[in-house]
Amino acid sequence: MPFGSIVGHHSTIASLQTAVSRQRLAHAYLFHGDNSIGKRTTAVSFAQALNCDSAEPTRIDGCGVCRSCQQIEARTHPDYFVIEPDRELATPQIKIEQVREIEQQIVYRPLIGERKICLIDDADRLTISAANALLKTLEEPPDHSLFLLITSRPASLPVTIRSRCQSLRFATPARTDVEAALILKREMPPSDARLLAMISEGRLGEALSTDLKQVRAEQQELLELMSPDSLRSITTLLAAAESVAKADRATELLSWLARWIRDLVIIQVGGDRDQLLHLDHVPVLERYARQAQTDALLSVLSDIDHTLRQATRHLNLQMALENILFRLRDAIMTSVPQPVS
Ligand SMILES: [Zn+2]
């Protein structure tokens, strides 16, 4: 993909293009920033720009269609290597063997391109021995070599590696940029694009691959659960907590509850309505916002955040979910008598 098709990251890309045009490249770059916002896409575009076959001296972008650009995209280019952890494993790691294998290749001159390029995705997953092996190469990199390290957790990389790389921080793209990209690439109506852009919080990669139907179904489920009839019925809340927890969807429902509460609080404090997720349901939200206690809502919200952070360790998500649903019910339905315990 040429640089021009990337969503956001304009100044980062401009600095890479300047480096390409002046032929003043570092031997190693560290691209860091949130997950799924375009770091790897940019790295691939960078590799294409450097090894593109279209012979223009002022070239600062890959054409995307020549053999070299296509081979880089398909990871079959003989001068382009990708190292990444096996993400199927419980603890994905980049092993020393993977680094050694590439190092044996990278010392030789490029076969067809200008540079030998090694992209290391999720570089924070390097084992200590793999990181040490890589460090040796980064300390004395072959002239024609370029390493592109990508991570969303730069602090987890050894300082010695980070100090050998030119660091480029990727900011999360604006919601409007993600919306525009969804409308263009997925041909979505603006209201759907808005919903996905908000839920993905700027992570375009996620927004592009999310199943819209499923998201709409989840939203509908949340709205039904938050209807006055459901909230009044303890049986309904208990049944919902049980079925959601059994289907391993507790964290998903908790995230929806958190977004719903945020909408209520935005209305209560007179915040920017453009920030509302459930923009099509404002009258309902307003009714709840009038009767709910902000402090109690914020307290439930912080509980949800805490539960989500502990979710992998949490022994009983069903119980946590029940507790949060009851507290939320108390916060917004003050006229409903407290359940007898
Ligand atoms: Zn090309």
CA of 279 to the centre of ligand 1 (A): 43
CA distance 180 to 188: 9
CA distance 119 to 94: 12
57-113 pLDDT, tens per residue?
A: 667 889 999 999 999 999 999 999 999 999 888 899 999 999 999 999 999 999 998
In 3-state terms, what secondary structure has residue 149? strand
- pTM for the whole thing? 0.81
Half-sphere exposure of 23 (CA within 13 A, CB side): 6
pLDDT in the model for residue 2? 82
CA distance 338 to 288: 18
In 3-state terms, what secondary structure has residue 83? strand
CA of 87 to the centre of ligand 1 (A): 30
CA distance 264 to 286: 7
CA of 67 to the centre of ligand 1 (A): 7
- At residue 295, what are phi and psi to the nearest 5 degrees? -55, -45
pLDDT in the model for residue 202? 85
Residues with beta carbon < 5 A to ion ligand 1? 52, 62-63, 66, 69
Q: Which residues are CB-neighbours of 128 under 8 A, at least 6 positions away?
A: 158
CA of 36 to the centre of ligand 1 (A): 24
199-250 pLDDT, tens per residue?
A: 998 888 899 999 999 999 999 999 999 999 999 999 999 999 999 999 999 9
- Decide if pLDDT at 334 tops 70: no
CA distance 62 to 50: 7
CB atoms under 10 Å from CB of 218, counted, come to 17
Task: Tell me what percent of the residues of the chain surpass a pLDDT of 70.
Answer: 96
Q: Give CA separation, 154 vs 99, 160, 293, in Å.
A: 19, 12, 40
Four-residue CA torsion sign, 93, 98, 102, 103? positive
CA of 147 to the centre of ligand 1 (A): 20
